[in-house]
Chain A
Amino acid sequence: GEDVEQSLFLSVREGDSSVINCTYTDSSSTYLYWYKQEPGAGLQLLTYIFSNMDMKQDQRLTVLLNKKDKHLSLRIADTQTGDSAIYFCAETVSSQGNLIFGKGTKLSVKP
Chain B
Amino acid sequence: NAGVTQTPKFRVLKTGQSMTLLCAQDMNHEYMYWYRQDPGMGLRLIHYSVGEGTTAKGEVPDGYNVSRLKKQNFLLGLESAAPSQTSVYFCASSWQAGADTGELFFGEGSRLTVL
Contacts and interface: CB of A to CB of B under 8 A. Distances in A.
Q: Do A and B bind each other?
A: yes
Contact of B101 (A8, A31, A44): A31
A99 B50 contact: no
A33 B94 CA distance: 14
Contacts of A103: 40-42
A42 B94 contact: no
Given A31-B102, A41-B109, A43-B90, A98 B96 contact: no
A24 interface: no
B102 A42 contact: no
Interface string A82-111: 000000100010111111011110000000
Given A96-B31, A96-B97, A8 B104 contact: no
B98 A99 contact: no
A98 B97 CA distance: 9
Given A41-B109, A44-B106, A96 B41 contact: no
Interface residues of B, number: 27
B74 interface: no
Nearest to B90: A42
Interface string A22-61: 0000000011010000001111110010000000000000
Interface of A: 8, 30-31, 33, 40-45, 48, 88, 92, 94-99, 101-104
Given A96-B31, A103-B40, 10 more contacts: A42-B108, A43-B92, A45-B103, A92-B102, A95-B98, A97-B94, A97-B96, A98-B58, A103-B42, A104-B42
